[in-house]
Copies of this chain bind each other. A is one copy, B any other.
Amino acid sequence: MAGNTFGTLFKLTTFGESHGAAIGGVLDGCPSGIEIDLDAIQIELDRRKPGQSAIVTQRKEPDTVEFLSGIFEGKTTGTPIGFAIRNTNQKSHDYSHIKDSYRPSHADYTYDQKYGFRDYRGGGRSSARETASRVVAGAIAKQFLSAIKINAYVSQVGDLTLEKEYQALDLTLTESNPVRCPDPETAAKMESYIKEVRKEGDTIGGIISCVVQNVPIGLGEPVFDKLHAELGKAMLSINAVKGFEYGSGFKGVAMKGSAHNDQFKSDGSTKTNHSGGIQGGISNGMDIYFNVAFKPVATVIQGYETIDKEGNMVQTKGKGRHDPCVVPRAVPIVEAMTALVLADYALLNRTIKV
């Protein structure tokens, strides 16, 4: 638990600060012989990258990944896949407004206290830029798990809620709008709202829902490494996440057992799926679904008072091009982390043919 590695057998280690030379990672344990579609990886990166639409940050970063090892003649070799994404223009910024003061609800203060020292160029290691490396590895995991379908989408922005369950949605519409909400009508409302918030120089939170279909029975390792426990950790490790629930989630609390229990059909599937596809920490073959809550981005353009390193109160304001709402760009990150979790369990489980 040195902190920068995720997974046991399908194992990603990431490195890089937002304004250093590069970010990147090493994906170790990917089986050999997997054909890698490099374009598909870049498409995932493009879903996450800044500047893709009017409702996300207008920073320009191409986020082009270079693979340094582990792929030969288009296939994985079974050796570690090293990759890097160069940071562009990382030297041109002016950090004087944050160098000596701590932005509220960022990690500036805690990093400085923990490490006695901080890379003050933007978020440094705590920047969500790090998640681009997760998207690369997740895209490879998706190709390894080609039979499994992972679809995340935005289901809430502020208090605008998508009231439909995933079964009532056409998930192929998720990419049809910049919010990544598969219901066009709700998406339009959310988009307007995000624009409004941006104009105020403010930010707003949101929820991403994720559905995983065609999961083989038997993934998950009791008792501490239950499938949903690791999914929860994976989601909570994404910047700005404040909560995770799966299946009936927090709403299930108010149900009685007789109603909550998922009765079996004769083929082993269940009539309802309050369990969210997981029983006793092990997948049961039904759809896995869960929600991930994201707080409003901490960088606001409005002025505020904060402290400097000496504890003096100083007046400052956010600068630059920030995301008014993080969830549209976080959809591919949720999918990537889901894929990494499932790939790891697939390797841990010898009995399953993925």
* A interface residues with partner B (beta carbon < 8 Å): 1-6, 8-9, 11, 13-17, 20-26, 28-29, 31-33, 66-70, 72, 75, 77-82, 84, 102, 104-107, 109-111, 113-119, 121, 124-126, 130, 156, 158-159, 197, 200, 202-207, 217-218, 220-226, 228-230, 232-234, 236-237, 242-250, 252-258, 260-268, 270, 274-276, 278-284, 293-300, 302, 304-307, 311-313, 344, 347-351
Are A258's CB and B2's CB within 8 A? no
Q: Which residue of chain B is the closest to A8 with respect to CB atoms?
A: B1
Asked if A296 meets B257 with Cβ closer than 8 Å, knowing A1-B344, A28-B13, the reply is: yes
A110 engages B226 (CB within 8 Å) = no
C-alpha gap A132/B181 in the complex (Å): 43
Contact A109 B268 (CB under 8 A): yes
A257 touches B225 (CB 8 A): no
Partner of A20, one of B69, B204, B263, B307: B69
Say whether, besides A119-B72, A293-B249, A3 and B105 are in contact (CB < 8 Å). Answer: no
Contact B244 A236 (CB under 8 A): yes
Residues of the B chain whose Cβ atoms lie less than 8 Å from the Cβ of A253? 156, 158-159, 205-207, 242, 293-295
Given contacts A296-B257, A298-B257, whether A78 and B115 have CB atoms under 8 Å apart is yes
B250 with A242: CB separation less than 8 A: yes
State A224–B138 Cα separation when bound (angstroms): 14
Taking a contact as CB atoms under 8 Å apart, the answer to whether B282 and A14 are in contact is no
Residues of B within 8 A of A217 (CB): 110, 113-114
| A295 and B274 within 8 A (CB) | yes
Q: Contact between A84 and B84 (Cβ–Cβ < 8 Å)?
A: yes
Residues in B whose Cβ lies below 8 Å from that of A207: 250, 253
Check A22–B205 contact: CB distance below 8 A.
no
- Inter-chain contacts of A82 with B (CB < 8 A): 15-16, 22, 24, 84
Which of B26, B221, B279 meets A107, CB within 8 Å? B279
Cα distance A185–B293 in the bound complex, in angstroms:
32
Question: Measured between C-beta atoms, what is the minimum distance from A206 to chain B in Å?
Answer: 6
Which residues on the B side are within 8 Å of A255 (C-beta)? 204-205, 295-296
Complex: chain B residue closest to A118, CB-CB: B77
| Residue pair A3, B351 in contact (C-beta under 8 Å) | no
Q: Which residues of B contact A4 (CB under 8 A)?
A: 26, 28, 79-80, 222-224
A306 contacts B264, C-beta separation under 8 Å: yes
